Structure 1
Amino acid sequence: MKKFSLFGLKFMFEVKRSSKNDVELYSTSYALREKIIYLILIMFIIAFSSKIGLLSKNNNYSVGDVVISDIYAPKTIVFNDKSAKEKIIENMIAQSGKEYIYSADAGRIYLETFDEFFDDIYALKNNKDSNVDFKNLEKDTGRRIPDTMVKDLLSLKVPEIMKLQKETRKFLENLYESGIIQEKATIKYRSPFDKKIEKLSNLQRQVVETFAAPNYIYDEDKTKKAIEEKVSQINDQYIEIKAGTLVAKKGEILNERRIKILESCGVYSYKKSLGIMMANLTYLFIISTLFYQIIFNRYKKDILRKSTYRSTVLIIIAFFLTFRFINNDLIYLMPADTALFLLVLLTNTKYGLMMISFMLFFLLPIIDYDLIFLVMNIASMTFGAYLIKKVNTRAALIAVGIQMAVLKVATFGLLSFFSEVETFGAALKSGEIIVSGLVSGMIAIALLPYFEKTFNILTLFKLLELGDLSHPLLKKLSMEAPGTFHHSMMVATLSENAAAAVGANAVFARVASYYHDIGKCKRPQFYVENQQNGENPHNRVSPFMSNLIITSHTKDGAEMAKQYQIPREIRNIMYEHQGTTFLAYFYNKAKALDPTVTKEEFRYSGPKPRSKESAIIMLADSIEAAVRSLDEKTPRAIEEMLRKIINSKIEDNQLSEADLTFKEIEIIIHTFVKSLISIHHVRIKYPGQK
């Protein structure tokens, strides 16, 4: 108990380690949480470790810092050079002409006023009109005519006035032709008149300025729109910096543009580096939370299955370490699809697709949040996950990899077009994607057998190998128990057709049927299908021994299968295909000898079928043997026999643990009838020939 005082108040608190009782510690939920947390920790730690280098001294600079050592681009980047764009805009604005409103009448009106003014000057000079008034001229021009200018003109002789008039009028004509510009309140003369006007006499300049009115008015709105239109046509300036390029030289003082290039290469200031690390932590926590919730609620069975979980852990570790320690320039060349192929083939489509999707999201910090890579892979892997369902050969798996690569290239090309990726770089990456798709399938094929053997997982390819009739165990069955071998082939045909009809795993049902009675190899002569010349060994032993021999074939088969490394799923079928079926024949014989015997002593040890495939094999096994005993194998007789056997199995609760519906049982019955009629069809009797 801890105690302390604060502001006159006493506070007490106690810290205890949380203890879990054995029931909680070993519960399914606790184990599930623990396994999911381990998966999260693996991906979280490897992903976050890629950002630890941000705190390195050589990875932190700011404007004005001196570069400690040469810095080379760690990867090929496309840098958006905003400074270059701004410089282009500045040059464009400087070179762009301004927009003006031209007035053609301004020059004519003011020159006419100029002539009228001098006519009045001549009148005053000759004393023809002593009452000349310049107010009308001032009203027309909007300009005031200075009294000093009039006085100076009148002081000149007439020839001098005429000369001045001629020179100034010529100057005004040229000035109007060149253009007199008004920008806001300022009037400007275009070159060379801006300098020539300075060389005029004071009186000449005064006359010119009085009658020089602007004929080009600056249009600010139109000029802005013209500049904005030109600026909008200037694209961002992208510079591709190849991996290994020297981006900052030792001793160089960093300016703002150089800092931006370094940031594109992953070199930041300490403040920004810490911000980026916190952002990465936040992102990874969000993804981890989503991963935990979805996996915990939807994929409990997959995570709790040891083989699935262990193979998932190994795939995740290999996937993340590969991307963690390669150059980011090579990520498009990496066979990322291999992880998808292995997950889907070793587990199931939904689990594999969900797991690879989260793996890609956890991968983002490592690949510097390359969203093109993420979108491209999620799109192709969603497409590929469902293509794998139809794969039944190794060559088909390679074909799926190539098909996914084609979709990736199309997606990459579309995204690159809008991202303005450099054309040559995009073409190079497209080639890398094709190579990656081709290699992914090959690597998956090469690794799959090791996963199958290490984790004892039954995949489609393993099933196809086990389905080869040249397998040593099947050859043993065909040699030592030929009747049982033929029976197994018939059961396989019935089971495969029925499984396909109800949406179960038809390939598994067929292959498991091949091996379901393998235990009969130990004492083949005790089973009627292998007996010859009418000799029945059961006649020489007690019914108790017969019961023991017959019921032990399920256990014997599983032990033999284990020696030959037959997967657990098929060994389960060996136990389940008889369930807890009652051996009525030997029970009745034993009852006659010992009335105290019970029915439970004459039942198979089980367990009962726990899957659709197992239940279908049980029904096919019972039905195939029974139909052979029919004298007349008509459709009606076969169906009556089927329904009788299946009803007895249902009444005996042999199908109580299998997830079969009554609708599916009806489909199975019709499929069995159709298959058996095809097998036992009526043959044409030919007359004897000499």
Structure 2
Amino acid sequence: MNKIWRWMRQIDLWSPPQDRPEEEYPPVYSVDDRPLETNDLYPVNAPRPWPWQRLQNSLLASPPLPPSAQRNRPCDRTKPHRIRPAIALTISILALTAAMGQRYYRQPELQVGTLSPKTVIAPENASVVDQETTEAERTAARNGAVPVLVPNLEANQSIQNSLDNLLKQAEILRDQAGDFPLLDGRQLPTVTQTYIREAPAAAWSPIWSVVIAVATELRDAETPTSPLALLTRHEEYQALTTEQQKVARDLVRYQQLPSALELESLQLIFETARDDFRKATAEFDRLAQVDRAIPDTPVLFRLSDSEWRTVRQQVRRTLDLMLLQGIPAGVQTDLLAIAAREHLQGKIPSEAQDLGQGLIMAVLEPNLVKDLEKTRAKAEAAAEQVPAVIVNVQAGDIIVRQGKEIDQSAFILLDHFGLSQRRLNVWGLLGFGVLMGGGVALFLMVERTRRPGLRGPDYVLVSCMILGVSGLSILGFAVYSLPAVGLLASSFYGTALGSTLVGLIAILLPIGTRVNPVPLLASAAGGLVCSLIAPRLRSREELALLGGVVGIIQGAVYLALTWMLSPVVLSTWYLPLTGAIMQGIYGVVSSVIALGLSPYLEHVFDLVTPIRLAELSSPNRPMLQRLASEAPGTFQHTLFVASLAEAAARSLHCNVELVRAGTLYHDIGKMHDPQGFIENQMGGPNKHDKIDDPWVSADIIKKHVSQGLVMARRCRLPRAVQAFIPEHQGTMLISYFHHRAVEMAKTDPNIVVEETDFRYDGPIPQSPETGIVMLADSCEAALRSLKEASPSEALAMVNRILKARWRDGQLVDSGLNREHMSIIAQVFVQVWQQYNHKRIAYPKSVLNPLAGRS
């Protein structure tokens, strides 16, 4: 185990080879766009990023994650110290195995599907309820419940209103067509009158011509002649069709009646009726273009007023009766048409059957809707009606024979009588321990490749998260905790570790404990979403909104898995909605709990998250407000250093949030004596000129580090931020006062100058972030002093300062190499150019309006 631990700590697949500092520092180069030459500050053949480095940069497109507060100090551990991680790793695996391997503590050896080693006989009479089978049958009954349908009053009213509109349209068309029949049906048959009104002009004109000719001949005849005989002998009559001849004969007979109208009056009646019928037909064709139209049948205009009233009444009654019976969705239209015809049969004239059926079918639609509450109640009632599955056995009965497979009923009886041989499954627990060890190794591998440098407290926190999930499994809430784990782990340690932790828990939890897989998978989906999104967020408000998104995703995944894995009837697909809503609520609650715990965990375990760093960087923080009011020059110096350091950190893919926060607090110790630093003297007398003691002045300068640490601890800054206070100065020499001491020693032999008296106590920068801030702090004053310098001159000066820090050994442990120094120098000059941009010189007349007027 010790060898495995040493190998896990030594392997680093993502770390490039580090260049050690050399004795000589190459000359300065310019910032133009030409290729670097051999005499440039950093050689042309400087090592390029490895291919996997470019891949890593592409994968890290999101904001960089906060590094651990663990500093990369030189490895000076002795052998006993190397044993401790191995012991901690072993204890962690054993503890996690014991906590999550709950399934193996009282696991029956005789389970469903195993072969019985002997014949087992029931020792006594028993009736045992099979809870698992009973619940399965009740679930099937619940999912198979027929939905409860209730009439939709709004749909009924809409259907009735549509029928009323159709009947009104029909009434208008009938009024437009005129009264019918035109004459008494006993004098002129109704069929003939129908033909006269509806026949086209080409068919009606020959008939009326023959009738006129016969009437004229009868009037002019000198001897009485039979009208019908005269009609049949007429040549035009012979050219008519059989139907036309019948109409002509009926008209001639009508003319022989004593009460017959004159031909002129009769012609006027016929032409008026024909014209009204033609207009009504045209309007009918126009109305037929809408969705719900009157059936295309001529019976509408042929019915008498009494017959039409009967049709209207029966159609309304039939529609009300069908709506009262209810029309569910999906019923075939043919069946509804047959039902409507059966209801109208014998109640309206036979020739109006198609018209009545058409009016009903034109407006009829489903009017039954699912009552969710009643359906749910019915489903629950159906589930409660399912009797409990009871396994009965008599004393002396054989429960299972030797060599036979144990089924569910036999297992229930064996477990009831205590014959299932429940005991600690040592081999199963050992196998689970191996899986747990593999999971821990995978987590450590991901940590070493994607997020190196976790501290002991970080491992303790991750272990506590897993143990917390195991504890919740006893209460039955373990499957709902994965969103909280994903949100916390990814916020603290990044997407890779958060996703890995959620995935490992989702895999190992159902192996070691008994959990429902559907809620577990839904919770794992919510946890993965938290792991992917949480590290990109920069405020608590955004995390709170993420909780709502997680709830929606968790509920949707639960609903989809339930539909896929459970036998749900199509008509009752919505029954799992209750469970999905509860899953969504669990996801939101889990995220809210994690959001509430996050600030406490950050302080207890000294964690730096992007959100905490953003909060610390707020100018409204009391410490920063004090710095701005008590040491304004230092505060302005801090802002410019922050600009330089942030730009460099962003170019090197370092933690920009940590650099920003650390830079803002790196000089807070100067508030102990603001006038002891030249940027706060505002052109006034220099305090150190009055002191005239370089040792005292050096102590004042160095004290801003020690006092800064005191202030940082007082306001509970994270250690990762506190590290910027001493490390931005490292062990640098306070050159000005050291030079004065040396000059004083030249004139007074009794004075002994120790260089250590004029050096900061350190430590030197232990991370790229603090190294960048050291360089930015060193270059800030020099860059501010340049007003008319060219970029090449500014770059030369920056490189001289960087060379001095490099030669002084201040960057040995920072992780920065010479290639990084080249990038940092370029970035510093670019930021200086942005601050030192040129402005348009305004004319004096603009600045002095009175002078312009004169």
Q: Give the TM-score, by structure 2 length.
A: 0.53
* 1:107-256 equivalent positions in 2, closer than 5 A: 247=388
Q: Deviations over 1:541-579 (max 9, x none)?
A: 201111111122111101111111111111111010011
What residue in structure 1 maps to residue 33 of structure 2?
A: none
Contact 2:631-2:674 at 8 Å conserved across structures: yes
CA distance in 1, matches of 2:417, 2:582: 34
CA distance in 2, matches of 1:487, 1:369: 58
Amino acid at match of 1:347: Y
CA distance in 2, matches of 1:331, 1:431: 18
Amino acid at match of 2:686: N
- Residue ranges of structure 1 left out of the alignment (5+ in a row): 1-22, 83-238
Contact 1:46-1:324 at 8 Å conserved across structures: no
CA distance in 1, matches of 2:613, 2:433: 40
Query: Does the alignment pair 1:548 with 2:704?
Result: no
Amino acid at match of 2:669: G
Contact 1:43-1:362 at 8 Å conserved across structures: no
What residue in structure 1 maps to residue 59 of structure 2?
A: none
Query: Does the alignment pair 1:305 with 2:455?
Result: yes
What residue in structure 1 maps to residue 815 of structure 2?
A: 659
What residue in structure 1 maps to residue 720 of structure 2?
A: 569
What residue in structure 2 maps to residue 482 of structure 1?
A: 632
Q: 1:534 is paired with a residue of what secondary structure?
A: coil
CA RMSD of aligned residues (A): 4.2
Cα pair distance change 1:570/1:65, threshold 3 Å: same
Q: 1:504 is paired with a residue of what secondary structure?
A: coil
Structure 1 residue 539, shift from structure 2 partner: 0.9
What residue in structure 1 maps to residue 491 of structure 2?
A: 345
What residue in structure 1 maps to residue 301 of structure 2?
A: none
Structure 1 residue 675, shift from structure 2 partner: 2.1
CA distance in 2, matches of 1:322, 1:359: 13
Structure 1 residue 404, shift from structure 2 partner: 4.4
CA distance in 2, matches of 1:262, 1:501: 69
Query: Does the alignment pair 1:608 with 2:759?
Result: no
CA distance in 2, matches of 1:580, 1:75: 74
CA distance in 2, matches of 1:368, 1:242: 24
Cα pair distance change 1:539/1:54, threshold 3 Å: same
Contact 1:340-1:352 at 8 Å conserved across structures: yes
Query: Does the alignment pair 1:444 with 2:594?
Result: yes
2:538 aligned to which of 392, 395, 409: 392
Cα pair distance change 1:511/1:70, threshold 3 Å: same
Number of aligned pairs?
508
What residue in structure 2 maps to residue 679 of structure 1?
A: 835
Q: 2:723 is paired with a residue of what secondary structure?
A: helix
CA distance in 1, matches of 2:438, 2:550: 27
Cα pair distance change 1:591/1:241, threshold 3 Å: farther
What residue in structure 2 maps to residue 594 of structure 1?
A: 745
Structure 1 residue 597, shift from structure 2 partner: 1.7
Cα pair distance change 1:677/1:278, threshold 3 Å: same
Amino acid at match of 1:30: I
Amino acid at match of 1:281: L
Cα pair distance change 1:513/1:252, threshold 3 Å: same
Contact 2:529-2:550 at 8 Å conserved across structures: yes
What residue in structure 1 maps to residue 474 of structure 2?
A: 324
Q: Deviations over 1:380-399 (max 9, x none)?
A: 54454232221111232234
CA distance in 1, matches of 2:460, 2:714: 23
Structure 1 residue 656, shift from structure 2 partner: 1.4
Query: Does the alignment pair 1:580 with 2:737?
Result: no
Moved more, 419-428 or 524-533: 419-428
Structure 1 residue 514, shift from structure 2 partner: 0.7
Query: Does the alignment pair 1:34 with 2:87?
Result: yes
State percent identity of aligned pairs.
Answer: 24
* 1:626-645 equivalent positions in 2, closer than 5 A: 626-632=782-788, 634-645=790-801
Structure 1 residue 531, shift from structure 2 partner: 0.7
Query: Does the alignment pair 1:433 with 2:583?
Result: yes
Contact 1:43-1:359 at 8 Å conserved across structures: no
What residue in structure 2 maps to residue 668 of structure 1?
A: 824
Q: Deviations over 1:571-627 (max 9, x none)?
A: 111010011112221111101122542433322111111111111111111112211
1:524 aligned to which of 674, 692, 701: 674
Q: Deviations over 1:167-217 (max 9, x none)?
A: xxxxxxxxxxxxxxxxxxxxxxxxxxxxxxxxxxxxxxxxxxxxxxxxxxx
Structure 1 residue 431, shift from structure 2 partner: 2.5
Contact 2:540-2:595 at 8 Å conserved across structures: yes
Q: Quick one: higher RCO (CA 8 Å, sep 6+), 1 or 2? A: 2
Amino acid at match of 1:674: Q
What residue in structure 1 maps to residue 623 of structure 2?
A: 473
1:358 aligned to which of 480, 491, 504: 504
Structure 1 residue 414, shift from structure 2 partner: 5.4
Amino acid at match of 1:593: M
What residue in structure 2 maps to residue 136 of structure 1?
A: none
Structure 1 residue 68, shift from structure 2 partner: 5.4
CA distance in 2, matches of 1:458, 1:516: 16
Moved more, 470-479 or 507-516: 470-479
Cα pair distance change 1:321/1:495, threshold 3 Å: same
CA distance in 2, matches of 1:415, 1:390: 29
Contact 1:24-1:30 at 8 Å conserved across structures: no
Contact 2:658-2:769 at 8 Å conserved across structures: yes
Cα pair distance change 1:264/1:631, threshold 3 Å: farther
Amino acid at match of 2:839: R
Query: Does the alignment pair 1:286 with 2:286?
Result: no
Query: Does the alignment pair 1:503 with 2:503?
Result: no
1:559 aligned to which of 710, 719, 735: 710
Amino acid at match of 1:544: W
* 1:53-92 equivalent positions in 2, closer than 5 A: 53-54=106-107, 71=129, 73=131, 78=136
Cα pair distance change 1:362/1:504, threshold 3 Å: same
